[in-house]
Amino acid sequence: MVGWTLLIKTAESRLISLLTLFGVMAVNACWSFPLSARSSFTKSYPAQLEHQVEAGFNLSAHAAISILQSYDFVPQLRNDYYVDAYDGERFLLIPHPIGYKFRLKAYEKKWILQATRKLAYHQYQCSSELALTIKEKEMGELSLSRRAMERFSQQVSRQLNQFHGSDIIEVANEIREFHQFVLDLKVPLLKELSEVPSQQTWYFTASHLTKKTKWKTKVDVGYGNMEVSITDGRDFLGDHFFQRKFEVEFQTLENMPLQTFAQSICLFMSKQKLSIEDINPFQNDPQEETLAQLRKFNSPLGFK
């Protein structure tokens, strides 16, 4: 966590290198209005939890770089340490239709545990080819001390490395210890996440970690400001590099109505000349690799 100012400068230098390396590729896209919408899930959410409206998708590298060229983005570094609920066969939170998520967001000088779940999905059709999903979610957050952050992040990293080892009993014991450590955390929504598993035996375990450079800016395409962010993320399984990925995310500002938010995103994508080839390129799932290693420990963990 030392030298983050230098790292941000490095991130900016890396962006310049990326722009030189990839250049810009313009692809024609056809967009149409009005939008059609379809929603699911409940819209209600407790007042003490933060409510957020967002949309986003993975990007090809050249599409991400093209967007970064178009606006004045501010970079920020962050490491995300993901934890999921393991039932002896699969992870239960991120793959769930409601999209539960539990992670530590580690910045330079602040460290936040965050539990989230989706409240609603709204489907909009931007064009004959491209559809857009806007998500409403609620978040519970807990700020950590440096000491608690270090314990959490170190245990996640160590687990991911140990999953590739052969000391079955020791790793199983550490999984139990970490599970209890997580259960004792006072994070809003964590209780709801711990109620997702229906079986008697399950454990909170490390899933993966992502080292991110996230560029943010505000964009108004004619309907009011929205926040746009581009993420250059590197997934790791402990010390093992897994993959690099790019994504774009949009968040509402100033209580923007959903329809207006959707129109803003679609117009933004049209202005950027994004095509179906630019959006959601294939990516591997780091959770699948973790699961393949985790199953070695099923017997000492009490799974049949």
CATH number at residue 255: 2.40.320.10
pLDDT for the residue 40: 44
Give the pLDDT confidence of 138-178 residue by residue, as tens digits: 999 999 999 999 999 999 999 999 999 889 999 999 999 99
Residue found by looking up tokens 């379809």 in the block:
38
Q: Is residue 9 part of a domain?
A: no
pLDDT for the residue 199: 86
Q: Is residue 1 part of a domain?
A: no
In the predicted model, what is the mean pLDDT of residues 82-101? 97
pLDDT for the residue 5: 43
Are 118 and 136 in contact by the 8 Å Cβ rule? The answer is yes
Question: Among 25-29, 101-105, 107-111, 268-272, which is the least confidently predicted range?
Answer: 25-29
Specify the number of domains making up the chain: 1
**In the predicted structure, residue 36 carries a pLDDT above the cut 50:** no
Q: Is residue 24 part of a domain?
A: no
Q: 48: pLDDT confidence band, cut at 50, 70 and 90?
A: low
DSSP-based three-state secondary structure for 192: helix
Give the pLDDT confidence of 168-223 residue by residue, as tens digits: 999 999 999 999 999 999 999 999 999 999 988 999 999 999 999 999 999 999 99
Q: 49: pLDDT confidence band, cut at 50, 70 and 90?
A: confident
Tell me the two tokens of residue 229. Answer: 């962010």
Q: Is residue 94 part of a domain?
A: yes
pLDDT for the residue 109: 94
Q: Is residue 257 part of a domain?
A: yes
Measure the CA–CA gap between 36 and 126, rounded to whole angstroms. Answer: 8
Owning domain of residue 48: 32-297
Count how many Cα atoms sit within 13 Å of the Cα of residue 176 in the half-sphere of its side chain: 13
Average pLDDT, the chain: 87
Question: Among 10-14, 226-230, 234-238, which is the least confidently predicted range?
Answer: 10-14
Q: Is residue 11 part of a domain?
A: no
Q: How is 232-298 classified by DSSP, letter by letter? A: EEEEEETTEEEEEEEEEEEEE-TT--HHHHHHHHHHHHHHTT--TTTBS-----HHHHHHHHHGGGT
> How many angstroms separate the Cα of 58 from the Cα of each of 108, 109, 181, 202, 278?
25, 28, 33, 31, 8
Residue 196 CB partners (closer than 8 Å, separation 6+):
85, 92, 93, 96, 100
Measure the CA–CA gap between 34 and 266, rounded to whole angstroms. Answer: 11
Q: Is residue 129 part of a domain?
A: yes
- Residue with the bigger pLDDT between 249 and 34: it is 249
pLDDT for the residue 3: 47
DSSP-based three-state secondary structure for 9: helix
Measure the CA–CA gap between 286 and 17, rounded to whole angstroms. Answer: 27
**In the predicted structure, residue 32 carries a pLDDT above the cut 60:** no
Are 98 and 117 in contact by the 8 Å Cβ rule? The answer is yes
Question: Among 64-68, 156-160, 275-279, which is the least confidently predicted range?
Answer: 275-279
Q: 238: pLDDT confidence band, cut at 50, 70 and 90?
A: very high
**In the predicted structure, residue 24 carries a pLDDT above the cut 70:** no
Residue found by looking up tokens 């992870």 in the block:
91
Q: Is residue 66 part of a domain?
A: yes
pLDDT for the residue 294: 96
